[in-house]
Structure 1
Amino acid sequence: MWDLISAIKELNHERVYRRFLRKHRRQAALWSSYIEDYYQGKVPKYWLLPKKPELVGKRVVWQYWGQSLDRATLPEVTRISFDSIDSYCRAHQVIRLSDETVSDYVDMPPVILEALNSDPYLSRSVYSDLLRLALLEAYGGVWLDATIYLDRELDPWYWEQDFFVFQRDPEQSHKRDWHRALPFYCSWDEDFMTNMLSSVFFAQPGSEVVSTLFDLLCYYWQERDPKEKPIMYLFFQVLFDLLVRREEAPLHHLNCPVRSNADIESLQLMAVGRWPEHFPPVEEVLRDHPIQKLSNRVPHSVPRLKQILQEAGRL
């Protein structure tokens, strides 16, 4: 009986996945036209100036929580994540921004500020894609989402790259298991275009990749009709795929070395009960992959997450 239920679930996932790929192709067609506009000089430059120039080029850890940063109001996963950042980023300056403090560091382009007030689809999470690029272009450093958990200090190697994000690794082991566990996130199909994780983003100030991504995202919000729903939620990742990751992409020669964006999801998979039995235990995962992406979107997984971390001696 359970085998039948599992087969039905997998079949349903496959149908939804095929629809997902069709969205990828539609979003890619739009981005391809904008990228062409960019290289024909039709996309304006959205200038950014650092308002605290003494931070430019410093190893700053940028984080953002749009609402109040009062610890008592933060979700438990974010508190756990922030505590890990505070423990392992003591050598760096950690700057946590709220909606009230963003303008202390950078003035977002007027087109973005206008869209924040008029476009219902420019949510905080979507806005944070623009904000991370703006801060990294102006200052450099690293952006860590509010649900990134660290198990040790950041490897100096990351800071030395022109930019770095975790990406889909063509040499990933157990691909089928990863796809089953995360069917709409882990795929190695050619048409699958959400192949990078923006939650951890290192960059040098003025990086060409970061600057181009920012200009194209701003152009997207300038050109789109706010009455129309975006084709898909992860359109930033599709842009990166077409602009940087693919071999024929115009900035592929500037792409960073590839490190897996699947392994960074390990701890969250354990917490939600989708970690395959033959995969390594938590101690080995945290030893080999000390940067982990958690989630506030699965509240029922928090007790199990805390149990895992307590048993591993982390809480």
Structure 2
Amino acid sequence: MSDFKKYIRLVKEFGPKIAYLKIMQKLFKKNEKLGKKYTIAKQKYITDKIKNEFYDIFQTDKKKNYADGYYLQENSPIWVFWWQGFESAPILVQKCIESIEKNAYQHPVILITRENINNYVDIPDYIYEKLEKGYITYTHFSDILRVSLLAKHGGIWMDATIYTTGDFTKEMINYNFYSNKIKPFGSFISQCRWSSFFIASGKENPICIICRDVFLEYWKSHDVLIDYLLIDDVIYLAAKENEKIKAAIDKIPFNNEKIYELQRVINSPFSHEQLEEINKETNIFKLSNKYKYEKYVNDIPTFYSYIIGHKN
């Protein structure tokens, strides 16, 4: 769907103000003061809309007695998703998955594709229909999938572009909800208190249940996404509306604070000393499959070359 068609649908479904705020935010992206002003205004408009439309979901789950919920177990599954199948995935994705399997400790790694989704969760037909029409992207389908899997089974969701360098699981079993948490940067509504590409929870966790129920209800009546990071908007609202959820998020310790560092240096000459420095207190790294990477810089292998195991 083109940007123009998206704005037309946004105006039709949510009113002209959301389109105006998105356009102004984009126009003033490089202006720190005005960019922040329109980002905050857009976030408030979106969260107000979501809260009002799905008020009953937030209130119903607020009244349930979850106690401390189910904690992650030492054998909770790790979920990794690649729609087309992993055999045809890019080499970077394949190496990321190999690293997850290598460092998963006692956690079974379950690879989800379009062929086996129904073995684990039931996704309504209207979701697949809107996916086929292009109203839902594969990225946002994966948002629906991740919270559905975690709500039903619990476990650890890891995007297929996460690269691990050591056992990343032992601390998690002390929590019923866990994610990457770093010092805030940018204007993200999460304030970097969680990352949707790496979320772990016990089964029937209220955060995942609320996200799942909001997503399924949202796509019943909408054909355009109000916000790319809708999952963060919903988690933010869930924490704002429910003290137990807020407490669970606040309880997450700072962890893997260099999670983006390997991506930053991926096209730089590889150095064991630099890798050891990056690995200090960080063993989960978020990479991206959207960019072009070089195997060599001035005939020296890069970090990308090291990750994919390229041999001269």
TM-score by length of 2: 0.72
How far did 1:92 drift? 2.4
Kindly provide the amino acid, as one letter, of the partner of residue 79 in structure 1: Q
* 2:168 counterpart of 1:154: yes
User: Deviation of residue 124 (structure 1)?
Assistant: 1.0
Q: Size of the alignment, in residue pairs? A: 264
Pairing partner for 1:197 from 188, 195, 204: 195
Aligned to 2:98: 83
Q: Report the CA distance between 1:63 and its aligned residue.
A: 0.6
Deviation string 1:134-172 (CA, Å, 9 cap, x unpaired) is 1111111111110011100123111331111123536xx
Check the 8 A contact 2:104/2:169 in 1, yes or no: no
| Matched residue, 1:212 | 210
1:38 aligns with 2:47: no
Q: Which moved more, 1:151-160 or 1:106-115?
A: 106-115
Contact persistence 1:58–1:139 (CA under 8 A): no
The aligned residue for residue 290 of structure 1 is 283
Give matches, 1:238-249, under 5 Å: 238-244=233-239
SS at match of 1:284: helix
Q: Say if 1:159 and 1:202, in contact at 8 Å, map to a contact too.
A: no
1:253 is paired with a residue whose SS is helix
Matches within 5 A, 1:61-80: 61-70=78-87, 73-80=88-95
* Aligned counterparts of 2:308 and 2:230: Cα–Cα separation in 1: 38
Q: Structure 2 regions of 5+ residues with no counterpart?
A: 1-27, 62-72
Which amino acid is 1:24 matched to?
Q
Structure 2 match to 1:276: none
Aligned runs of 1:97-108 on 2, under 5 Å?
A: 97-108=112-123
Please, which of 226, 230, 233 is the counterpart of residue 231 of structure 1? 226
What is the distance in 1 between the residues matched to 2:146 and 2:252? 20
- 3-state DSSP of counterpart to 1:12: coil
Which of 263, 266, 270 is equivalent to 1:268? Answer: 263
Partner of 1:251: 245
In 1: Cα distance, 2:266 partner to 2:171 partner: 29
Q: Is the 8 A contact 1:59 1:159 kept in 2?
A: no
Amino acid at match of 2:82: W
The CA RMSD measured in Å over matched residues stands at 3.5
Q: 1:302 to 1:12 in 2, by over 3 A?
A: farther
1:301 Cα deviation after fit: 6.0
Tell me which residue corresponds to 1:121: 135
Deviation at 1:239, TM superposition (A): 1.5
Q: Deviations over 1:253-312 (max 9, x none)?
A: 332414257631111122267xxxxxx9432221211011100011236767x7226679
Gaps of 5+ in 1: 1-9, 43-55, 171-185, 274-279
How big is the shift at 1:113?
3.7
Q: Sequence identity, in percent?
A: 22
Query: C-alpha offsets along residues 59-112 of structure 1, whole Å, 9 cap, x if unaligned?
Result: 211111001221xx2212202201211221253211101111101112123453
Mark the CA change 1:311 to 1:84 in structure 2 (over 3 Å): closer, same or farther: closer
Change (3 A) 1:167 1:221: farther
The higher relative CO (CA closer than 8 Å, separation ≥ 6) is in: 1
SS of the equivalent of 2:86 reads: coil
Matched-pair contact (CA < 8 Å) for 1:169–1:261: no
